[in-house]
Amino acid sequence: MSYIEVNDLKKNFVVKKKREKGKLFREKETVKALKGVSFSVDKGELVGYIGPNGAGKSTTVKILSGILTPDGGSANVGGIVPWEERKAHVKNIGVVFGQRSQLWWDVPIIDSYSLLKDIYRIPQRDYEARLKELTEALQLEEFMKTPLRLLSLGQRMRAELCESLLHRPELLFLDEPTIGLDAVSKLSLREFLKWENKEYGTTIMLTTHDMEDIEALCSRVMVLGHGQKLFDGKLNDLLERYDTVRNVHIKYDGVVSDIKLPNGATIAQAEDGIEISYNPSEIPTSELLSILQSAGNISELTLQPENTDHMIAAMYKELDL
């Protein structure tokens, strides 16, 4: 049996519409956030859970963390039904919501950690060893006596990660953990998560819109749309279908003869060379390179696929998400 087992999970929300002119009461509408989602996750996996806004990602995380009760289906995490045995369940999980803080705003973060030690009943020796390990890995030593409200966004996210892992959870849910972070902070968080997963075998479920997070961390990705699971597998397998644009940057030595490209390829002059875009499914890369080589002596050539975000956007558009 897998560590996480989800079968035919359903969740509905009743929302009130804007009151129409002349009517006393607002009409209600049932929104089906999850429409029978099923999947399993093995212990120690690092899984990406992606989809557009409103797909049901956060709802799934809240159900699996015991915050919400589903309207149908079943879920089991490490032998526990999250919403039925919540106290026992939260001892084994950590949760980081990128847009919500779980630390106390006006007190030094070390005081928040000390309170969490008592809440989770962590032995003093284990707490001190784990805190030292996490603060060094997340570079938090100099901020321990600083109130959370005085930290930058990147520093706060590192502090939130430290808080979620103090009690050594078996499972970590990350909901948009890098939202709003600068490039340096993102790289630092990604390296830490890879280390935590490898060092302790922590199962990590990551929901994000940042595809660089998925590329850097996840060997497996699940795509959710309209409350249903649409894909489950390797990210490369998903992207191959939508890899419709390749970009070539090329520099020549000396004189270049007229480059005659097949229909469908575009060429533009750049400051330090030539930029060419083409569809590899319509124009084989080998054929294009042969044309470019016959035009002159190539001094530098860079070939790269379309940006991952563009491919994911194309996928969402094709699936009408």
Residue 29 has a pLDDT of 85
Residue 63 has a pLDDT of 94
Q: pLDDT exceeding 70 applies to what percent of the chain? A: 95
Q: Which ranges of 9-143 does DSSP label H, i.e. alpha helix? A: 57-64, 86-90, 109-119, 124-137
Question: What 3-state class would DSSP assign to 89?
Answer: helix
| Residue among 7, 30, 4 nearest 17 (CA) | 30
Average pLDDT, the chain: 86
The pLDDT tens digits for 89-145 are 999 999 988 767 788 999 999 999 999 999 999 999 999 999 999 998 888 999 899
Across 109-113, 152-156, 295-299, 308-312, least confident range: 308-312
Q: 72-77 and 4-16 as β-strands: parallel, antiparallel, unpaired? A: antiparallel
Q: Which domains can be identified in the chain, with CATH numbers? A: 4-240 (3.40.50.300), 246-305 (3.30.70)
Residue 263 has a pLDDT of 82
| Residue among 213, 234, 218 nearest 47 (CA) | 218
pLDDT at 308 over 70: no
Residue 201 has a pLDDT of 92
The pLDDT tens digits for 7-59 are 999 999 988 877 777 777 788 888 899 999 999 999 999 999 988 888 888 89
Residue 271 has a pLDDT of 77
Q: Cα separation of 279 and 270, whole Å?
A: 20
Q: Which ranges of the chain does DSSP label H, i.e. alpha helix? A: 57-64, 86-90, 109-119, 124-137, 153-165, 183-200, 211-217, 235-240, 285-294, 308-318
* CA distances from residue 213 to 77, 124, 157, 178 in whole angstroms, order as listed: 24, 34, 15, 8
pTM of the model: 0.78
pLDDT at 1 over 80: no
Q: Are 303 and 246 in contact (CB under 8 A)?
A: yes
What average pLDDT score do residues 197-207 get?
Answer: 92
